[in-house]
């Protein structure tokens, strides 16, 4: 017997869609001024995980990330709560995302407002408005999934976690050194 799966779609809350405050100005002079966030999927062997990431546009470091089996509001909330706990003073910060249902949820709006975070959103269907985040996720997939002999989704998750640590501590430093010597 064929299992029927309900077609569940989530709708963004239109009243919570915010204007694009970043406007592709991705070079930021100080930390904790502009963060960008998004969710990408990690697929291996027909299994799927979701990675929610927040980058600081100042130095392109990963401020916080979470991996889950579910693409939902709690995934985004957990990531944002971790970022706020790590960085503490986020009042006035701009947090840029797409218009996904997670980012237009009442919960997301409430936590941003209660911490003095300004919400900024890309224009609908315009991923270039969040190109640093899109680029980060593309590089992550290229350097993890496509270049390794992975045997399980758990192994892939561990590899992603290790890669993010490498990215924050070594890869970014190497990028800065090559810019200085150019």
Domain assignment of residue 181, yes or no? no
Establish if 149 belongs to a structural domain: yes
| Domain enclosing residue 147, as ranges | 14-175
Cβ density class 79-103: b for 16+ within 10 Å, e for less: bbebbbeebeebeebbbbbbbbbbb
Beta-strand pair 47-56/34-44:
antiparallel
Tell which wins on pLDDT, 13 or 36. 36
- Predicted local distance difference test score (pLDDT) of residue 125: 84
Residue 4 lies in a domain: no
- Number of separate domains in the chain: 1
Residue 128, C-beta contacts closer than 8 angstroms, at least 6 positions apart:
24, 134
22: confidence class by pLDDT, cuts 50, 70, 90: very high
Domain assignment of residue 67, yes or no: yes
Residue 3 lies in a domain: no
6 located within any domain: no
147 within domain boundaries: yes
- Cut 0.85: pTM above it: yes
What pLDDT shows up at residue 168? 94
Q: What is the pLDDT of residues 39-56, one digit of tens each?
A: 999 988 888 999 999 999
**CA-based angle 51:54:56, to the nearest 5?**
150
Which carries the bigger pLDDT value, residue 156 or residue 3? 156
Domain containing residue 133: CATH number: 3.30.420.10
Residue 109 in contact with residue 31, Cβ under 8 Å? Answer: no
Is 49 inside any structural domain? yes
Could you give the C-alpha distances from 99 to 11, 20, 56, 173, 174, in angstroms and in order?
A: 10, 10, 19, 32, 33
pLDDT tens digit sequence for 107-138? 999 999 999 999 999 998 888 889 999 999 99
Confidence of residue 5 (pLDDT cuts 50, 70, 90): very low
End-to-end CA distance of the chain: 63
Contact indicator for 132, 36 with CB cutoff of 8 Å = yes
């Amino acid at each position: 017997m064929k299992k029927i799966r309900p077609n569940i779609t989530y709708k963004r809350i239109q009243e919570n869609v915010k204007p694009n405050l970043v406007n592709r100005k991705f070079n930021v002079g100080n930390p904790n001024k502009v963060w960008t966030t998004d969710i990408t999927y990690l697929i291996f062997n027909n299994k799927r995980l979701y990675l929610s990431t927040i980058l600081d546009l100042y130095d392109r470091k990963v401020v916080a990330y979470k991996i889950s089996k579910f693409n939902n509001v709690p995934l985004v909330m957990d990531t944002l709560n971790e970022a706020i706990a790590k960085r503490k003073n986020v009042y006035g910060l701009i947090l840029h995302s797409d218009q996904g249902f997670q980012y237009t949820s009442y919960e997301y709006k409430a936590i941003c407002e209660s911490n003095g975070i300004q919400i900024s959103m890309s224009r609908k269907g315009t991923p270039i408005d969040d190109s640093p985040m899109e680029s980060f996720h593309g590089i992550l997939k290229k350097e993890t999934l496509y270049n390794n002999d992975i045997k399980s989704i758990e192994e892939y998750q561990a590899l992603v976690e290790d890669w993010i640590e490498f990215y924050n501590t070594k890869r970014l430093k190497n990028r800065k050194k090559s810019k200085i010597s150019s």
